Each structure stands twice: as structure tokens, then as C-alpha cells.
Chain A
């Protein structure tokens, strides 16, 4: 039996390690996507005061600390059974929208973009942000940097710091914003809307205008019919900060939705001895292994999932894009069912729709008369007990669940991190990509490496936090071994 190891050497929290086993015929027998690291937050957060969780869990990820900061703060609210005043909620969501704007921008231009703009077969050296700049003009580079700056500026104004914000506490925030800051944010928001539209335009021209890419997107390699998860507001529209979590079936009929504290009735996690990460699945459906379909509890939580799960977007321009997205990709939908897109590579488009939504949301929130109110904190009066906080991290639904003693000191902690939701589907995508690219022991090409990479980059996995950086790539190393295990050929990319 042959074995291929894809082992990214860039390390962050649980970086990926892919094992591909081939059978005698040289076809893919199985693939294992291993996470070889664990930091134990669930253990060492126990004993800490609950108000520190937004600060401690920040450090789970330096790329999406805002997500953990918010989930932890909301869990803190729940633990004390305290409702933050409206201005505090608005500010938290505003901070969060600023973060989404930066994060989605980074991902599209640094990671996904190159695959399309330059093309998956393009030489390594060109497949990065610089490549995009060369192809579509220098001003893009400037815009991207500007976009990241604006996003961070909003985060810093409300969160106190650019990276690892510090202002969210149980019951609200430690500070509000001034009129001057509001105007600044408003201006940035309006700029952001234009930028988002520009990006969608770019995607439209470069990708949708290109047969090959459309085929690639609509092709079968990256298609899985799984369940989809995403948070929706009262009107059933996508919301990142608050609402109920809706689970949409592969056939476009909703399985239902749940409030944060009900998550244990919906989500269970499967443990496997060969990886430090667990595989969440839908409890109501059950674990059937790494397979898709209506009977498999495997679900997906990404920008694509959020669009699939929701009835639409809460802002006008984003709603237009939402509709265009489905008319273009959904094909014909059974009557009574909601249109669903199963093609993983469509996630990049979905992400741009969300980019536009986050930009519009910045403007909406910054225009709210309450946003500059100094009333940003409610002092908890209840005895702290237990609480769950959920937000939509860019990489999926993020759940923090705390139990505390009567002093508000943690006694139990459970975290289901954004990316974890997608662990099973990612493994499946990798296997599918491998299957479609390796047949009869045909010698693997570098393109294949990138396509495998594309398979999970679509999910923007956080255990590849490395891949968030400019103008990054996840280095891969593939070793092909014959039946005796001796290496036949070694292919490397960036390592």
C-alpha cells in the first residue's frame, strides 16, 4: 500500500497533517487529516474568573481574537443572566463588523483570490497578492492595505487594541465611543461599502467571466451535500453577532434552529484516537462517518453555510448580491425548498457577499443615534451559574459554554471553535480532491497539491491560521511511497 503524507511545516494551533493511503492499484484508499496539537484551554480556563475569558480566549487565535472576545463576553452575560444595554450591543456588533470586514478582505485577496485571479496552475511565485496587484493594477494593493487598516481602526476604537481587544465584559463594555469616533467610523464604513462592491465586481469579471473557473467551481471535486449551519436574526437574515442558530438540510428544508443554551441538544463531538481535534456533528441526525447526505450528521459552517442557512441578507446591496449568487449557482430548486449551493469553492463568492454586508452594517450601526450613548454596561445582579455564548466566527459558528461557582469562577468550560465545525467536511473535501486527482498511482503534480490545498482553503481553516498571512500559502510536502513504504517520489511546495 502506498502512503502520501502532506505535512505543512508551518505551525500554529493544530496545524494540518494529511495522510493519504493508496491501495495496490494506486487509487486512494483513505485519507486522514490530523491535528497534532492541543493547548487545553478547556482545562486551564477552569479556576479563572469569568470576566477574564474574553481576554484569555482571545489568545486562542491572533487572527480572529474578536470572535472569541465576543463569544466569551456573551457567555459571560449569560452566566450572570444580565442583558447589556442596547448601546453596548450595538458597539459590540460594530466592532465585530469591522473585524469581519478586515478578515474577509484578507482572506479573499491573500488566499482565495490568487487561485482564481492568477489561476491554480499559475507559477507559485505569482500566486499571491503581488500577483493580483500585477494583474489588476497597483491601486488594488493600496486598497487592500487601506481596507485592513480601516477594519483594525474600528476594532481598536471600540475594543481598545488592534489585536486582542480588551473592552467587552459581562454586562456590556468598559467604554463607549465619542461623536468624533462615530463620524470617523461612518466615513470608513462608506469607503468599505465601495470597496466591497469593487471586490465583487472584480470577482465577477475575473472569475465568473471565466468559463474554466466557473466549471471548477461547479465541478464535482469540491461538492458536498451536507447540512449547513448559520446564525440568523429574528427575520431569518444572516447575523454574525446575535440570533438563533439555524440548521439547513442539504435539500433546502430547515432541520430547525436553536438558541445558544440549547446547543448540546443539537451538537455532539466525535473523538478519534488519531487526532487532537474532535469532529462535531448534528446530534439529531447522528454520526455516520465521513459521508455527506441527509442521513449523515456532518455539517458545514462557513460563509456559504450561513447564506444557505439564512433567508437572505439584512442589508439591501448584500441582499441583491445574495439573490444573484443563488440565481447563478443554485440551479433549479424543488418547490417549497430553499435554494442551496453545495459547491465549496462558491464559499469565496459567499464571503464577498458577507464582506458587503459587514460594510453596510458598519454604516447602519454607526448611524444609530444610540451608538455614542455612555450607557454601555449593566451591573449583574444575579448569582453567576452557567451560560452559553455563540457568535458567527468567519470560519464558522463559535460556541463558548461556561459553568461557574457562586463567585463567578469557572468550574467547567466547553469550546466549539469555528473551524472545528468543518473538520469532517474538510476531511471529506480533501479525500474527494485526492480521489479525483490520484488514479492508478499516476504521478502527482504540483497542481494537485494546490488543488488539495484549495479544497480546505475554501473553509479558511483556522488551524491553518498561517494561511491568513500576506501573501501566504500553506507549504505542503508529499511523499509517495510504494507498497513497501519506500518513497517513490517527493513533491514539495514552499518547504
Chain B
């Protein structure tokens, strides 16, 4: 019989949640094993980086890539797997748009290090800071240099599919694996290149069971400051800055159904270039005032616009990073 299609899963800078999500698909894992020849999956198996280099270009059928690009090594692996893979999937929020760690792009990388090494509990002892090359009594030691900004996978290589979520929901992962297997067996069509898979085409409100009326907001409220959160009414209408309206559907509106605002981990909907732009315009639209001063007062109740609008998508946004971060180094 002909050999099985090859499967790879790899991460760059990520937290491991995506891997856990994949493991949480339970029995489906076995389908992967029966239908694919798993050639590279460092967390799960004996994988030789060099073996991948040795493979023919395009010989891996499906590669799930999670994590963002934070250093040269991340980029190297990304480019290698792009060359070796027929279908490269940006898997999870980090790979798709940078995720929470992308917020680092609001400050220059040196500031990140300085801050981490000047906390209240850190010894000021000879103001030690990590250096990329340092000589110790026993010899020289090297640390990889951090890139000035976090970047999503697609800013380094072209990506065939995007699978959003922090992490992607297990049932969605299972569905995608099913689809690919069917496609390989010629029983199904793969979506057009560049498409987003394992998610809905609309936004979270579509899956949210909360009732909605016409929105008019005189002030945004912080969830912990609300005496009584109405369990059935749209959170945004209660003044809670919920990202649901702009966030792609697919999770099943988990957070809103748990009484917490959507924080936007599934990224933007189809055809959108910049998540923040969509959410910004949505919030601006529901502000109930035409008086410049009052508008400013209302906007003051949103203490952190950049963080609110780009919580997950900053690295993948049109601006990508603050100017000071871009210009660092």
C-alpha cells in the first residue's frame, strides 16, 4: 500500500496551551495516528530536527504550527516547515496574530528586560542584565537575541490556513482533522488557500445566548464594579467592554456564557484586516452622546484602549507594534 501522508506539529514562542488543546481531543488523537505518519511532533515523540531538513520539499502533507516568531530560531523553524509542508496551518492565536505575548510590542524589547530585572524583589547587585554574550570563569556563554517585536507566522512565511483560538477549541480541532483526512481520501474539498478553518464565519454574538437590544452606552463599566450582572442581557449593553461583536465565532461563546466578557481570542471575522479597527468603531458607535466633552468623559471609562482592542491581535494588526518597539535595536 502507498505510504501514509506525513503530519507535523511544531511550536515557536507559545505557552503550550495549544498542545494541551490537541491532547484534549482524546480519542481523535488515534485517528491522527492511524491516518498520518507523524514525522515531527517534539512534545509527543522522538523527533529529529535534522530529519526534517533531510525531507524533500513539500513532503509533509499537514503541519500545524503554533506560537509566534520571537527569535531567530522561531523564524528558522517556520521557514523550514514552510518549505517542507504542503499545507501549513497557523494554529492558535499566537501563530495567527501574536496573542497576549504580542502586547510586548507596545514597548521596546530592552524595556521588557529592564523592567523584568528591576522589580522590587530583584537584587540591584551590579545591575546585572542578561547579555547575549558573556564571559564566565569557565568560558563564554551565549544567549539568543530577542527580536525587537513579536510577529505572527504569516509575517514570515505564507500560510495556507489559519486556525484561531487561545487555544483552539478541541471539538474544532477534531473537526479540522476529520476534514483534512476526508480531503486526503478525496471525500471532501479543502477550503480556498488563506481561509480560516476550525471557526465560524460570523462573530461571537452569533453564538451568544444573551438577549440584545439596540445599544446605547453612557459609560463603560468594569465587571468587578457591577452590583448585579444580568445573566441574560448582552454584556456590552450592561456597559461591560465585551469583545464579542468583533470576535470570530467558533468557541461557542464560552466566556459570555460563563458571565465573563469575551476577550477576543478567536481574532477577527472573515474579510477583516484589523481586529482593533472593528472593535473600536463598534464601541464608538454605541456611545450615546454627540457632545465632544461628554464623549471624552465616556471614553475615559475605557482605561486601556490599545489593550482592549488589540489584546490578542496586536502583533498581527496593521500597525503591528508601537513605533518605539519597531525602532528598537
A interface residues, Cβ below 8 angstroms from B: 1, 3, 9-13, 19, 21, 29-30, 32, 34, 36-40, 42-49, 51-52, 55-56, 58-63, 65, 76, 80, 124-125, 145, 148-149, 152, 159-164, 166-167, 169-171, 174-175, 263-264, 267-276, 278, 280, 287, 377, 379-380, 401, 407-409, 412-414, 416, 465-466, 468-473, 475, 492, 494-495
Q: How far apart are the CA atoms of A145 and B29 in the complex, in Å?
A: 12
Shortest distance between the CB of A472 and any CB in chain B (Å):
5
B226: which of A21, A58, A379, A465 is its contact (CB, 8 Å)? A379
CB–CB A174/B143 < 8 A: no
CB-CB < 8 A to B49: which residues of A?
Answer: 9, 495
- Chain B proximity of A133: nearest CB distance (Å): 13
Q: Is the CB of A63 within 8 A of B259?
A: no
A12: which of B11, B26, B107 is its contact (CB, 8 Å)? B11
> Could you say which of B15-23, B56-64, B290-298 contacts chain A?
B15-23
Q: Supply 18 further A-B pairs (C-beta < 8 A) apart from A166-B258, A407-B303.
A: A11-B73, A19-B139, A30-B138, A37-B13, A37-B71, A39-B13, A40-B115, A42-B116, A44-B106, A51-B223, A62-B167, A63-B16, A169-B223, A174-B223, A174-B260, A270-B123, A380-B225, A472-B44
Which residues of B sit under 8 angstroms from A9, Cβ to Cβ?
A: 42, 49
Q: Are the C-beta atoms of B224 and A44 separated by less than 8 Å?
A: no
Chain B residues with CB below 8 A from A124, complex form: 46
> Residue of A at shortest CB range from B300?
A407
In the bound complex, do residue A379 and residue B14 qualify as a contact, i.e. CB atoms below 8 Å apart?
A: no
Q: Which residue of B lies closest to A48 (CB)?
A: B307
A10 CB to closest chain B CB, in angstroms?
4
Are B138's CB and A1's CB within 8 A? yes
* Contact (Cβ within 8 A) B255 A166: yes
CB-nearest residue of chain B relative to A23? B138
In contact, B20 and A10 (Cβ under 8 angstroms): no
Q: Is B229 an interface residue (CB 8 A)?
A: yes
CB-contact partner of B122 in A11, A55, A167, A269, under 8 A: A269
- Of all chain B residues, the one with the shortest Cβ separation from A30 is B138
CB of B100 within 8 A of CB of A56, answer yes
Closest 9 CB pairs of A and B: A62-B17, A160-B258, A40-B112, A174-B259, A469-B43, A271-B128, A62-B15, A43-B115, A59-B100
Asked if residues B16 and A62 are in contact (CB atoms below 8 Å), the reply is: yes
Interface residues of B in 120-144 (CB under 8 A from A): 120-123, 125, 128-131, 134, 136-139, 141, 143-144
B159 at the interface (CB under 8 A from A): no
Pair B123/A287 contact, Cβ less than 8 Å: yes
Question: Of residues 215 to 247 in B, which have CB atoms within 8 Å of A's CB atoms?
Answer: 222-227, 229
Cβ of B172 < 8 Å from any Cβ of A? no
**Cβ contacts under 8 Å, A52 to chain B:** 263, 307, 311
| Chain A residues with CB below 8 A from B17, complex form | 59, 61-63, 65, 163-164
